[in-house]
Homo-oligomer: A and B are copies of this chain.
Amino acid sequence: MASLSGFPEFLPAGRMAETRAIDIVRQVFELHGFTGIQTRSVEPLSELSRKGEITKEVYVVRRLHADDNDKDALGLHYDLTVPFARYVLDHAGHLDFPFRRYQIQPAWRGERPQEGRYREFWQADIDVVGQDELSFHHDVDVVLVMLEACDRLHTELGVPPVLVRLNNRKLIEGFYTGLGVADPLAAIQVVDKLAKIGPEAVSTMLAEQGIHTSAIEQILAFAATQTDDAGLSALVAKFGLSGPLIDQGVNEVSQLYAAVQARFPGQVVIDCQIARGLDYYTGSVFELELQGWEALGTISAGGRYDSLATDGKKKYPGVGISFGLSRVFAPLIAQGRLKASRSVPSAVLVAVDSPETRPMADEVARALRARGIACEVSPNAAKYGKQIRFADRRGIPYVWFGSIHGTVKDIRSGEQVDADAASWTPPADDLTPQITPLAAGEPLI
């Protein structure tokens, strides 16, 4: 059967690399006090289909033999933010705010499959949600935590360093409103496509919204700017922008810039083109790309949303950022560039002399496992050479011969020593499969 386009699946050594990547980001999130949750895979279709453009990509889920009792129209979630906002409302009475959570799960989008796009893909999200209010320093926090996770992925797996691009919806909205744009959100969604469709197409679409040519020129000139915090202040002065919304936006993006620059110098820029297409952002917006691998596109993004979750009485403002695990790792794993040193967890293959002595081999394996050493017993009593090749094909470094008091052979060096299964331990590097990081400067391909 041909594999389904857009639904990546990995061989064991590749899956181990993916698991390592997940463990790294999870560890960083937990060190920062984020608690892990999972939401169900489905949401009511009504919830999923009211967030604008994305609607057409939603996968509907329906029982094959549905009957009239199936009132709930369901869909697979296309991100982890919408389900999280719903989770907060569902469980608000049992959560403590500000609530810091991470969530590592697949999401689904019925996109046309193309390079780097998946229909089933894993995301790793962190969000902080407050009740009624949420201080701005949380915006800084989520960005720094994600950058720390990316830094670990860089150090441990060789993923290139990230560059974070910052902007702020308050600044953009204040600016657009000042230019007389009637529906700033609609304009933002068009400008968000700038990198994809280019300034001419954006111009045309903005004109169709009834925006004046002079305003469009200013919007495009502003969007073309990449700068630092001092440069932003100069830019705002040049454009003659003012008003409380703009001031607040400039202040926030400048604070965020300074904080990131202090921790990760050279990895941040204020990019006035960044807008984010989703309609729920209300303040900070950020996008991350990999330096040198810009063609991979945005690998992580997020922002502030003050009104995504509300139950009518209470508001739950939040800020979060999502990391595209599949976006980054699926191609590397599929190309075989990131994989474990072996295809099985086993550090040791316990050889079997004859069907009758299998219990002896089982006993050796039990003694090793009791001390946390993963191993497997040879499936047959073939000649030793064949059993060694069995281990070699899987990348298992050691083969054990004989009983508890036996000998163990490092099949890479050929060295064989007497050993006691109750005490022998392989070197730490051999105990678990290792992931060789990518070489520095490796191209994306």
Contact = CB atoms under 8 A, between A and B. Distances in A.
Nearest to A109: B63
Interface in A87-119: 87, 89-91, 94-96, 98, 100-101, 106, 108, 110
Interface string A1-28: 1011001111110011001000000000
Contacts of A40: 4, 7-9, 120
B374 A33 contact: yes
Contact of A379 (B4, B10, B135, B346): B135
Contact of A369 (B16, B31, B39, B135): B31
Interface string A264-276: 0000000000000
Contacts of A42: 4, 7, 120
A9 B38 contact: yes
Of A3, A12, A74, A369, chain B has the most CB atoms within 10 Å of the CB of: A12
Contacts of A59: 61-64
Interface string A67-101: 00000101110000000001101110011101011
Interface in A24-57: 30-42, 44-45, 47, 49, 55-57
Given A9-B40, A38-B10, A32 B376 contact: yes
A7 B72 CA distance: 13
A56 B64 CA distance: 6
**Interface residues on chain A, size class:** 35 or more
Contacts of A47: 1
B393 A12 contact: no
B72 A33 contact: no
Nearest to A8: B40
Interface in A306-331: none
A138 interface: yes
A30 B59 CA distance: 34
Contacts of A138: 379
Nearest to A48: B64
Contacts of A74: 4
Interface string A287-317: 0000000000000000000000000000000
Contact of A35 (B33, B63, B135, B344): B344
Stoichiometry (number of copies)? 2
Contacts of A4: 40, 42, 44, 72, 74
A95 B11 contact: yes
A210 interface: no
B63 A110 contact: yes
B106 A32 contact: no
A213 interface: no
A65 interface: yes
Contacts of A96: 343, 390, 393-394
A345 interface: yes
Given A9-B38, A36-B12, A61 B60 contact: yes
Interface string A241-285: 000000000000000000000000000000000000000000000
Contact of A33 (B90, B101, B108, B376): B376
B87 A9 contact: yes
6 contacts: A11-B95, A33-B376, A55-B65, A62-B62, A96-B343, A98-B379
Interface of A: 1, 3-4, 7-12, 15-16, 19, 30-42, 44-45, 47, 49, 55-66, 72, 74-76, 86-87, 89-91, 94-96, 98, 100-101, 106, 108, 110, 120, 130, 135, 137-138, 343-346, 358, 365, 369, 372-376, 379-380, 390, 393-394
